[in-house]
Structure 1
């Protein structure tokens, strides 16, 4: 009788241990999944709500570039400028080719006020100039990703005094601009 009880208890203990091991493996795999890492980074560290409607490919791409240094005219992880960063996002995430500089890219958009921006739209700035000098990609909740000349690839808030002062307009790529590039 005692042997049967001990044997049953041993079987139950082994089953619980195996179940715990499976759960931990799933949790570890979930934590190591690049998509999940990007989502956690943006949700917890940056305060951006990444949910089922979010473009995970966009967030994963940005996550992989965070911290890349700024380099005027650069377009690699050794150094990149704001328009090259935006161009790379549109190429890899949205399968859309953009022109090379922020002023030319602005010619491809339907201008929008800040309150109409959606995830993936573009944000344009006139920093100490009468011309557009900076570009980023809108993520939602007033946050945008960009290659900052002083901090490299970062996430910033449009409500920060610096960006609020120099914000020009938002924009959404026109379908006609996409078609024009394809035909060239």
Structure 2
């Protein structure tokens, strides 16, 4: 219910600001005011303080997918797994192709310490295994988005005891990663 209220409030604010700027011909780019409203909205619903350099597209993508059920091997809103979610996010938000499973994805990153993680970095976990078994995308303030087997796409804290226990490494995509054109 709270999510619905916030979504309605944001839509009303955006529509109101668009109505005030309708008299400007050929306005095709999102205004600074609209970007600021979006950043305020995502900061509130995701509990992440967004800076002037924050990627609104990243937060919009995560917001759109939250609640999508988990499905091993899935890559659609009908069901998705952790690597499918990371793959879709990188394709749609960063126009970059990454691997199709958490271990393949890890092979395409430079390791990053937990304290140096930035929005869009990948976080890897070894859950009940010696091999990497889970991947998520860091969104800031110690939080990451991922597809959980129990709750589907969600936002979690790295500092949560469960995730702390299984955390392996953070990673930033290598500069020579393939771009989708």
The answer for the alignment partner of 1:175 in structure 2 is 175
Seen in structure 2, the aligned counterparts of structure 1 residues 38 and 136 have a Cα distance that, compared at 3 Å, is farther
Where do residues 1-184 of structure 1 align in structure 2 (5 Å cutoff)? 27=13, 29=15, 39-176=39-176, 178-179=177-178
Q: Deviations over 1:73-123 (max 9, x none)?
A: 000000000000000010010010011000000000001110111111000
Q: TM-score, normalised by structure 1?
A: 0.77
Runs of 4+ deviating beyond 2 Å: 25-28, 30-42
- The structure showing larger relative contact order (alpha-carbon pairs under 8 Å, at least 6 residues apart) is 2
Greater displacement, 42-51 / 111-120: 42-51
Q: Decide which structure has greater helix share.
A: 1
RMSD of aligned residue pairs (Cα, Å): 2.5
Q: How far is the alpha carbon of 1:72 from its aligned partner? A: 0.5
Gaps of 5+ in 1: 1-24
**Closer/same/farther in 2, CA of residues 72 and 53 from structure 1, 3 Å limit:** same
CA–CA separation in structure 2 for the residues paired with 1:75 and 1:94: 17
Q: How many residues were matched structurally? A: 156
Gaps of 5+ in 2: 1-10, 19-29
Distance 1:29 1:82, change over 3 A: same
